[in-house]
Every structure is written in C-alpha cells, then in structure tokens.
Structure 1
Amino acid sequence: MKMKKGRILGAIGLTAMLMLGACSKDDSGSASSDEKKYNLKMSVTVNDSSTWYKAAEKLANDMKEETDGRINIEVFPNEQLSGGDQGKGVELLAKGQTDLSLHSTIIYSILDDRFGVASAPFLFSEHAEADKVFSGKGGEMIGEILNEKGVELLGFGENGFRQVTNSKHEIKSPADMKGMKIRIPGINMYTDLYRALGADPATMAFSEVFTSLQQGTIHGQENPIDVIHSSKLNEVQDYLTQWNYSYDPLVLGINKKLFDSMSKEDQELFKKLGKEAAAFQIELAREKESKQIEELKAAGMQFYVPTEAEMEEFKAAVQPLYEKYKDIWGEDLLKAFQDQ
C-alpha cells in the first residue's frame, strides 16, 4: 500500500513537472506569441473606391482569414487618421501611431530626400523597366532606407506614371512649356524639374486645383491618369501629354517596431500577404488605367505621345537636375535605379 501511494505521488510529481515545463515553454516564446491578438489601424490616402483601398481591404481580409480573426486590420480611407495630411500620415506610421499604410514615395521624401530617386525624371519609359528595378537592388535599397525611418516594407504598389495636362496647347517640347504655370506636388525636386523645363511651377493643395484651372489661375497640372480621370480634370483641361516622365510607386508599409515585436511566423505572414496585396493593386491599377485613357479620349481630351527625338529633348533639359541630386540621393542608390 505504501509503495502504491509512493508511485501515485511520484506520478503526480512527474505530471506537475511536465506541466511546469510546458508553461515555461509558453512563457519563453513561440506558443504564447503565436496566440497574440492584434487590432491594427491602416491608413490609405485615397477613397474606398480606389485600387489602394481595395489592396488594403484584401490584406485585411486575407489576414483575418489566415489567423481566424486573431490579427484584425481596420482600414481608414481618405487620410482620416492624419486629418487629410499625407506628410503627417507617413510620420504617424514611422512613430507607430498608425500601424500600416499605403503612401507614395513622393510623400516619403518629406522624411528623407533619398526617396525622391524613385520618381526621378524620365528614369523609366515603361512598366517593365520599373518592375525590374523595384523587384531588384533598387527596391531593396529603398526598403533599407524605410527601415532607417522606422518602417518595414511589405510590398510596392503603384500610383502610375505621371502625365502633364494643360488648357493652352499640345506640349511637344520644353519650348511649349515656357512660362506655363503648372501645379506640382510640394517637393523640391519637382520644383527644380519644372523650372529646368521652362515652366513656372506652383504648389497648392490638390483640393484647390480644379477651381484654379477653371479660373485660369494655373494653366496645367501633372498627375497619374487615375487622378486626372477621377477628378474630372478633362472638364478644365484640353490637352494631355503622355510622356511617362515620372514614376510614382506606393509603399505598403508596417511600423518597424511593431513588426519586430511579432513572432517569426506572423512576420512571414505579413510579408507574404503584403506582397500579394501590393501585386493585386498594381494589376488592378494597370487594367483601370487602360479603360480610363479611352474614356478621357472619348470625352474629348486630346492626347499627345512625344516622338523619340522629342523625348530626348526633354531628357537633355533636365540633365542638370541629375547632377544636383546625385549627392542628395547617393551615387549607389541612383546607379541601382539607372541600371535596368
């Protein structure tokens, strides 16, 4: 009887040790971190009918499904989390006050001028060239700069190639732009660029652009096709030069401190689903652009595609800008974007 009691006590002791060991394993890492729940906020600059929002929605839905609701992402369109201020939007992400976002590298230039290299003038003539750079060394180096700023890159989306519109005449050469007042984003590189082309660049909130064009305060503006179409700028602009002068990539990013605190499994899941969401956005954006071009033409907007000789003239006019920004961007970074 005593021996039996001793065996029972021994078995209880062994069970307790095993349970303690199991608890210790949970406390030390993977089991507990795998069960960690997240309620995250994601910021998108544009509205909920945009390809940006659809990509963010895909990421949120896929993440919810893959984790059975353990990781929940709430998407906020129209820059709601930053009061409509895109610059503040990227700052909130870097500081961790927002968890994820989709922002253009043009806006990231506010944090660091080096991001401007992604939209350098006449760097890419077509999508395939941009895709090659962003999936290679160039994209990798932008990812490293994002890390420095507190953001982990999950994937590159696309706002598209930027085109120029105006209400005066077709733009076929820098001479056609002389003295033309054109609205640009408030980035130094674009100011220098349009001055080099002979234009008179003006910065203003995009919400003021339609009225300013209508009243003749400005003669033209530049943006990707999607913005031109959705803002109905064809109603106040007659001419569009399709010159693909500046590429506008999007960063699907997550706050780095948050990302680093996650389990390896969750990090890998974010990387996988983020890359898929970004690729989905690019596919949607390119399909949409083709239809929008046809609709703008049907509405009476006159498109002009410069000849090779004309493109060379534009490129020659902005060459001094490369000399000025080479040191700002860094030679290695610029080389990674020029080697296609």
Structure 2
Amino acid sequence: MTDSKKILETNRRQFMVGSAAAVSTFFIGRPKALAGDAEITLKLATVAPPGTPWTKHLKRIKKRVKTETEGRVKIKAMLGGAAGDELSTVSRTRKGGLQMWAGTSAALASIIPELAALELPYLFPSLKKADAILDKHVKGDVEKMLEKAGFKLLFFSENGHRSIGTNFGPVKSTSDLKGKKMRSQQGDVHLNTWRALGASPVPIAVTEAMTSLQTGVVSGFDNTPLFTFAASWYQAITHFTLTRHSYQPAMAVMHLGTWEKLDPAFQRSILGTMDEESAYGRKKVRAIKQQLLDNFGAAGIALHESTSSELAAFKKATKPTHKKFTDKYGSGFYKAITKHL
C-alpha cells in the first residue's frame, strides 16, 4: 500500500470511530432527525388500563414530546401492566431498565417507605386540602426523596379515594369485615388499615387480583371506582361501600440517570409545567366521578354510601395506624403533611 493510500485508510478508520462515538453520546448535538426517525425511545410502564383518564393524559404528553422534539424523542407506553406489576416495574425504572413509570404512591413507597404516609386512612379532610399540601407544602420533600432514590418527579396525579368492594354485602361496621380475607395492596399502611377494619388482608399484585377474586382466594378489595371498572374487578363483587378511607395520590417519574443525560430541550418537552400537568390529570380523573358511581347500579352492584356515624367509627378504628407508621418510619414527612391539615 502506498503512503497516500495508507493516509486515506487511516483517515477513513478515524472517521468511522469518531462517527460511532458520536451516535453513542445520547444524541446531544446530533443533526436534526428525519421525520419519524426517533433517536430516543423512552419506555413508560403503568398498570393503568387503556381508555382511562391516566392513559389519555399520557397520550397528551406523548403528542407534545413528539411535536416539540420533531420526532426525535418517542415515549412508548406499556399499559395495563403489560410490563409487569407496579412493584416490579418501579424497581426496574429505578435501575434504568425502564425509563419512565406512572403509578401509585404506595408502589413508590416500596422503595421510599416514608411516602406511604400520604395514604394513611382518613388523612386528608378534602381533595382541595390534599392538592394544596402536595403542590405547595411537600412537593419539595417528595422531589428530594425521589431524587435520592434515583427518580425524577414529572407530575402528580391520583388514583383517588379508595373504598371497599365485596361479594358478601355492604360494609357498615368493622364487624362486617371480621374474618374476611380481603385483597390488599402491598405495604404496611394498607395491611394495617385492613387489620384495623377487622379484615384479614392478603397482599396481592394488581395483575393477579382478578384471578384471586374469581377463585375465592379473597372476598373483596379496596380501590377507587375508576380502577374497579377499568380493571374489570366489578365483575367479581355484588356490593361497593363508599368508605373513602384512603386518598391515594399517584405520580409519574423518570429514571434520574436517563433524565440527566437528556438534552435540556428534551427535558423541557417531557416535563412541561409540573403544576399544570398535575392539575390536568386530577381534573380528568374527577370529571367522571358521578358517571362511575352510576355505573355500579347499571352493573347490578349495590352501592352503599357510608353514613357520617359509620365513617366516624371507621376513622376511629383506623387512627392507630398513623402511630404504627410513625413508630416504624419516623414522623418527619408525616409532620410535614399534618401541620398543614
């Protein structure tokens, strides 16, 4: 090989190596992509089924990101537990196996136990108060806890108020639950709440709950009317009692390492305005509240609205769960919430 050919070959190899390195640095500074040529695909996991306000919200975000990044960033949502249950997917997101996640604060509490304080029974006196505390008073605390655990908070939303679905009748007192095996979301707060209400809780993942209800492993569950219908759990019950014993916030988060590598322009497109996204998500969930309650009757399910005296008794019975929580996990975050109630 002549000297000139050697020089050309060396230059060609250097160009190829340099090109390979350039496309492996998270695409920062790469020329504009062709239409439809996504440079980054972010996988988002959620157990929210298709057709819910949650998934409609995610579609809105996906569209914004696609438009503002000119197709360079794509969010691939895996709905209805397609990527696994909440606990497994939030764990994978923490490790970067999934890039985004949307779900309940209870699932995040499997990694950050202090967050479970948000779901203690009869904690928030109203939705307005819950919104104010989350958005104005403890958002910074939540962000710090999430970042320490490897997550970036994108926005709040909600699952809503959890009530009780059963196949044996309404729940008017703790005696109605005595000895009953009830499906429980995993975590101390939920298990202790059921015990305080007189039931025998069985922790079961969302993805396995319907089978457990159909086969008689459990006689009921607690969840929101929205999720009860979206997940078809209503098919396994005869009664639904509006105890509204736990308000359950939800959050969308991102793997912090992935977030930090993104171009700032991409970050802005994904994040939008946190307060606006939180307000939008809650509004969509709450807009169908009455429609969902009407659906119980249409489905042949007896709906019981708990009386004020029944609610007072439930609140009194479950109050000790607050102390059990603070004794085990500390009172710092709990006090940050309750001082504003």
* Residue in 2 that maps onto 1:69: 71
* Residue in 2 that maps onto 1:237: 237
TM-score scaled by length of structure 1: 0.82
What is the CA-CA distance between 1:259 and the residue it aligns to? 1.8
* Cα separation, partners in 2 of 1:259 and 1:177, compared to 1, 3 Å: same
CA-to-aligned-CA distance 1:168-197 (integer Å, 9 cap, x gap): 232122222222221111222222221122
* Residue in 2 that maps onto 1:58: 60
* Residue in 1 that maps onto 2:326: 326
Residues 86-97 of structure 1: pairs in structure 2 closer than 5 A: 86-97=86-97
CA-to-aligned-CA distance 1:55-87 (integer Å, 9 cap, x gap): 222111101111222322222223334xx2321
* Residue in 2 that maps onto 1:301: 301
What is the CA-CA distance between 1:295 and the residue it aligns to? 1.3
* Cα separation, partners in 2 of 1:248 and 1:318, compared to 1, 3 Å: same
Aligned counterparts of 2:30 and 2:333: Cα–Cα separation in 1? 37
* Cα separation, partners in 2 of 1:206 and 1:270, compared to 1, 3 Å: closer
1:181/1:202 contact within 8 Å kept: yes
Aligned counterparts of 2:206 and 2:47: Cα–Cα separation in 1? 13
Larger Rg: 1
Residues 243-262 of structure 1: pairs in structure 2 closer than 5 A: 243-262=243-262
Residues 94-243 of structure 1: pairs in structure 2 closer than 5 A: 94-243=94-243
Aligned counterparts of 1:188 and 1:335: Cα–Cα separation in 2? 18
What is the CA-CA distance between 1:296 and the residue it aligns to? 1.0
Aligned counterparts of 2:250 and 2:111: Cα–Cα separation in 1? 15
* Cα separation, partners in 2 of 1:256 and 1:33, compared to 1, 3 Å: farther
The count of residues paired between Structure 1 and Structure 2 equals 308
RMSD in angstroms over aligned alpha carbons? 2.5
What is the CA-CA distance between 1:275 and the residue it aligns to? 5.0
Range with greater deviation from structure 2 (134-143 or 204-213)? 204-213
2:45/2:79 contact within 8 Å kept: yes
* Residue in 2 that maps onto 1:32: 29
Aligned counterparts of 1:34 and 1:129: Cα–Cα separation in 2? 47
CA-to-aligned-CA distance 1:190-234 (integer Å, 9 cap, x gap): 222211221111223445544544454422211111222234444
Range with greater deviation from structure 2 (52-61 or 32-41)? 32-41
Unmatched runs of 5 consecutive residues or more in structure 2: 1-27, 34-38
What is the CA-CA distance between 1:337 and the residue it aligns to? 2.1
What is the CA-CA distance between 1:116 and the residue it aligns to? 0.8
What is the CA-CA distance between 1:321 and the residue it aligns to? 1.5
* Cα separation, partners in 2 of 1:196 and 1:159, compared to 1, 3 Å: same
What is the CA-CA distance between 1:289 and the residue it aligns to? 3.0
1:125/1:244 contact within 8 Å kept: no
* Cα separation, partners in 2 of 1:269 and 1:141, compared to 1, 3 Å: same
* Residue in 2 that maps onto 1:48: 50
> Secondary structure of the equivalent of 1:245?
strand
Range with greater deviation from structure 2 (300-309 or 90-99)? 300-309
1:64/1:70 contact within 8 Å kept: yes
Aligned counterparts of 1:101 and 1:273: Cα–Cα separation in 2? 18
What is the CA-CA distance between 1:163 and the residue it aligns to? 0.8
Which structure dedicates a bigger proportion of its chain to helix?
A: 1
2:42/2:74 contact within 8 Å kept: yes
Range with greater deviation from structure 2 (228-237 or 34-43)? 34-43
Amino acid of the residue matched to residue 86 of structure 1? E
Aligned counterparts of 2:31 and 2:260: Cα–Cα separation in 1? 14
* Residue in 2 that maps onto 1:287: 287
Aligned counterparts of 2:137 and 2:307: Cα–Cα separation in 1? 30
CA-to-aligned-CA distance 1:254-291 (integer Å, 9 cap, x gap): 11122223344443333325654443332222223321
Unmatched runs of 5 consecutive residues or more in structure 1: 1-30
* Residue in 2 that maps onto 1:79: 81
Aligned counterparts of 1:200 and 1:114: Cα–Cα separation in 2? 24
TM-score scaled by length of structure 2: 0.81
